[in-house]
Amino acid sequence: MPLQLTQKEKMLLMDQRTHEETCVDKYTKYSNQAQDPQLKQLFNSHAAKEQEHLKTINQMLSGQVPNVGGQQNQGQQQMNGNQAPVPSAVQGNYNQEDAKLCKDMLMTEKYVSGAYDTAVFEFRDNNIRQVLNHIQKEEQQHGAEIFQYMESKGMYQVQ
């Protein structure tokens, strides 16, 4: 049986589709602009995951309930293995343009995660809420990885 969405649910998914398209575009563009190879890889990885999110949102808009189980851990293990701490002697010696890209993407991820938080509460179907929650957790992971990168490079000073 195809998924029956209310008008509000369709509008929320259309908003999320726009957010995911923006994330794909930004991560792809910023990957090409980044100077640090580690940051390029991080942005490329996130662009691929955002493309998966976009595909999932499009499936829901077409009336399907996607299966997203088990995908998150694989991506997190891959990314966590690539996040080597930078020696403290190098901290603070970073590219200013890379820092701007990171700040913009961290702000974007905060916004997108918040939008998913709202959407989760607006859907009747529990399976759809679970899918949206899964995507939100991945968005939060993206933000955490950007934060960790920024902190390791001295771009983000936690007081």
pLDDT at 159: 74
How confident is the model over 106-143, as pLDDT tens digits?
999 999 999 999 999 999 999 999 999 999 999 999 99
Residue 140 CB contacts under 8 Å (≥ 6 apart), including other chains: 109, 113
pLDDT at 91: 54
Q: Which residue segment(s) compose the domain that 115 sits in?
A: 1-31+96-154
pLDDT at 2: 79
Per-residue pLDDT of the chain (159 residues; tens, 9 = 90+): 678 999 999 999 999 999 999 999 999 999 999 999 999 999 999 999 999 999 999 999 999 988 876 444 444 444 444 444 444 434 567 899 999 999 999 999 999 999 999 999 999 999 999 999 999 999 999 999 999 999 999 998 777
Domain membership of residue 48 (yes or no) is no
pLDDT at 69: 61
Counted domains in the chain: 1
Q: What length is written for the chain?
A: 159
Q: Rounded to an integer, what distance in angstroms lies between the CA atom of residue 123 and that of residue 137?
A: 17
Q: Rounded to an integer, what distance in angstroms lies between the CA atom of residue 101 and that of residue 27?
A: 9
Q: Rounded to an integer, what distance in angstroms lies between the CA atom of residue 29 and that of residue 149?
A: 18
